[in-house]
Amino acid sequence: MINFEYIRTSSAKAAVDAKTKNKAAQFIAGGTNLVDLMKKGVTAPQRLIDINALPLKEITTDAKGVSIGALVPNSVAAENKLVIEKHPLLSMALNAGASAQLRNMATVGGNIMQRTRCPYFYDITMPCNKRQPQSGCGAMEGYNRMHAIFGASDKCIAVHPSDMCVALAALNATVIVNTTKGEKKIPFADFHRLPGDTPELDNNLAAGELITSVHIPANRFNKNYYLKVRDRLSYAFALVSVAVALEVKDGIIKSASIAMGGVAHKPWRLTEVEKYLIGKSITANVFKEAAEIALTGAKTYQHNAYKIKLGKSAIVEALTKATV
C-alpha cells in the first residue's frame, strides 16, 4: 500500500484549513468508497484527514425543514423518526442502497461524494478520462450495460451510483458546505456535474470545501415512492431507479418532483415530466405518457438500450406505487 499521512481533526474549520494547505489531501469519514479506491490504486491521497470526530451527527428539524449532519450514518438517517415522518422518500432510498454493513459505515456526506462504479474507472490498466484525463473512455466502445443514457459526453458515459442522492434531488435538498470564507449553500441540482469535457470533476465542490449537512425543505408531498431495479435483490447498483414525490389532492396532482438514478452522471431530475403531471388526474394513461416524456432524448450504447424500456416501466411502476 502506498504510504500516506493520517490526521484527525475535531472542528470543521481545522479540517478545511488542513485540506486547503495540502491539495493532495482527502477527507475520510466512513471510508466505504475511498478505501476501495486507494486499494485499487485509483486514488492515492498523500494525507487523509479523518473528520469522524466532527460534531456533524445531528438530525434536527424546524419549520423550514429537516437538517441531517454530514456524518450521520446512512442507516441512522434511514431509521430516523423525523426522516421517516417528513421525508419517507429519503428513508426508502437509503434502505435501497448497498448492504446493511455498508449503510452502518457510510455517512450522508460520503454518500454524496461517492464516485462512479464504472469498471473502467476502477481498473487502472484501462483507459478512463475520469481517472486519468485524456486517456480515453473505456466504456464508450466497451461493456456499457450499466452506463448513462442522459447527459453523457464523448468523454464519459459513467453514472452516479447513489440512491440517496436521487431522493435528495427529488426533495430539492440543499448541500451545506464549509469553506475558508464561511458557509455556502449549494442547491442539490447544482451540486453534481455532467461530465462534459471534464469528467474528472464529479461535482462543484471546490478544493478545501467540506460538506457539513444536508437540508431538506418542508414540502407537501403526500405520495412518495422510491423504486430501484437491480440485478439482485440487495447489494447491487441500480439498473435504473426512480424517486417520486407527489402532492395529490382529490385525485389531482398539485405538484410533482421526480428524479431518476442509474441513468446519468448525476441524479436526473425529470422537469418536463413534473410540468406535465401538474393538474393531471391519477390514471394509467397519464403515467404512461409521463414515462414517454421522461425517456425522450435518451441516448443508448451497445449494451444499455434496455434502459429505455426499463426506465419507462420503472416510472409507471413508481408512480403507480406512490399513488396506491
Partner 1 sequence: MDNHSLLSETFFADDDRVDGLAKVTGKATFSAEFKPAGLTHAVFVCSTIAKGAIRHLNIYEAKNAPGVIDIIYHLNCPDVPGFKPVDRTTNPNARSFTGLKVFYNNMVVSNGQPIALVVADTYERAVYAASLVKVEYIKENAETDFEKNKFNDKLLKPRPDYVRNQKDAWATAEVKLEEEYTMPIETHNPMEMHATIAVWEGGKLTVYDKSQGPKNVQGELSRLFAIDEKNVQVITEYVGGAFGSGLRSWPHVHAAVIAAKKLNRPVKVTLNREQMFTMVGYRPQCWQKIGIGASKDGKLNGIAHHAVSNTSAYEDFTEGISSVSQYLYDCPNVFTTYKILPLDVNTPTWMRGPGPASGCFALESALDELSYKLNIDPIELRLINNAEVHPQSKLPWTTKFLKECYALGKEKIGWHKRPTTPGTLKEDGMLVGYGMAVGVFGAGRSAATAKGILKNDGSLLLQSAVSDMGPGTSTAMVKIGSEQMGLEENKVRFELGDTDFPTGPTQGGSGSATAVGSAVIAVCDAIKLSLKEMAIETVAAFKNFKPDDIKYENGKLVAANNSASIHFIDLLKEAGKPELQVSKSSSGFAQRDKYATNSFSVHFVKLHVHPVTGVIKLKHMVSAADAGKIISEKTARSQMVGGAVGGIGMAMTEETIIDHRYGRYINSNFVDYHVPVHADVPPMDIVFPNQPDYIISPTGAKGIGEIALVGVAPAILNAVYNATGKRVRDLPVTPDKLL
- Site for partner 1, rule CB under 8 A: 1-3, 41, 99, 117, 119-120, 122-123, 125-126, 138, 141-143, 145, 227, 229-237, 239, 306, 309-310, 313-314, 316-317
Beta bridge partners of 252: 249, 281
d(CA 185, CA 16): 16
Q: Are 258 and 269 in contact (CB under 8 A)?
A: yes
* Residue 299 CA neighbour count, 13 Å, CB half: 8
d(CA 156, CA 128): 8
Closer residue to partner 1 (CB): 193 or 230: 230
Q: Using the 8-state DSSP alphabet, how is residue 161 labeled?
A: -
Q: How far is the CB of 185 from partner 1 (least distance, A)?
A: 33
d(CA 286, CA 248): 14
Closer residue to partner 1 (CB): 92 or 126: 126
d(CA 291, CA 244): 12
Q: How far is the CB of 9 from partner 1 (least distance, A)?
A: 25
Q: Enter the C-alpha cell of residue 154.
A: 464523448
Q: How far is the CB of 235 from partner 1 (least distance, A)?
A: 5
Closer residue to partner 1 (CB): 142 or 196: 142
Strands 47-50 and 5-8, by their bridges, are: parallel
Q: Spell 293-317 as b/e; 16+ CB within 10 A means b.
A: bbbeebeebeebeebbebbbebbbb
d(CA 262, CA 245): 18
Q: How far is the CB of 309 from partner 1 (least distance, A)?
A: 5
Closer residue to partner 1 (CB): 6 or 306: 306
Closer residue to partner 1 (CB): 24 or 53: 24
Q: How far is the CB of 233 from partner 1 (least distance, A)?
A: 4
d(CA 210, CA 297): 35
Closer residue to partner 1 (CB): 52 or 122: 122
Q: How far is the CB of 254 from partner 1 (least distance, A)?
A: 26
Closer residue to partner 1 (CB): 191 or 226: 226
Q: Spell 104-131 as b/e; 16+ CB within 10 A means b.
A: ebbbbbbbbbbbbebbbbbeeebbbbbb
Q: How far is the CB of 124 from partner 1 (least distance, A)?
A: 9
Q: How far is the CB of 314 from partner 1 (least distance, A)?
A: 6
Q: Are 5 and 46 in contact (CB under 8 A)?
A: yes
d(CA 106, CA 101): 9
Closer residue to partner 1 (CB): 20 or 313: 313
